[in-house]
Amino acid sequence: MIRVFKHYVPTPLLVLGLLEFFVLIASAELGWRVRVYQIGGQPGSVVGNIPEILTFGVVMYVAYLAVGAYQASACRSVRESISRVMVASGVGLVGLSVIFFWCRLLRSGAQCC
C-alpha cells in the first residue's frame, strides 16, 4: 500500500490507474490519427494536439475516479466493473462536451445566450 494524501492506496490499483491513464492518452492520439487518415488529411505532429489529448485523458480519468472504478470492491465483480466503466464513460463524455463547447465558444468570441 502507498500512502497518498493521508489515504492508503493499494499498489495494484495505483498501477492500474496510471496504466489506464496512459492508455486513454494513446487511444485519443490513435483515434485522432485514424480519423484524419479517413478524411484524407495529414495528421501532423503530436505536439499540436497535446491540449486536447491531455484534456480527454484527465476528464475521463476523473470520471473513472468519480464513479469509483478504482475501488478495491469494484474490481472483484466483472459486472460491477463494466457497469462503472460504462457510467464513467458517459459522465466523461458529458464533461468533455461541456468543456469543448465552452472552449470553442470562448475562442470564437460568440455570445452564449
Kindly state the average pLDDT of the residues 32-37.
90
Residue 111's pLDDT is what?
67
Q: pLDDT tens digits, residue range 66-84?
A: 888 777 676 777 888 888 8
Res. 23: pLDDT tops 90: yes
Residue 93's pLDDT is what?
93
pTM assigned to the model: 0.77
Close Cβ partners of 72 (under 8 Å, ≥ 6 residues apart): 10, 13
Residue 67's pLDDT is what?
87
CA atoms within 13 A on the CB side of 43: 16
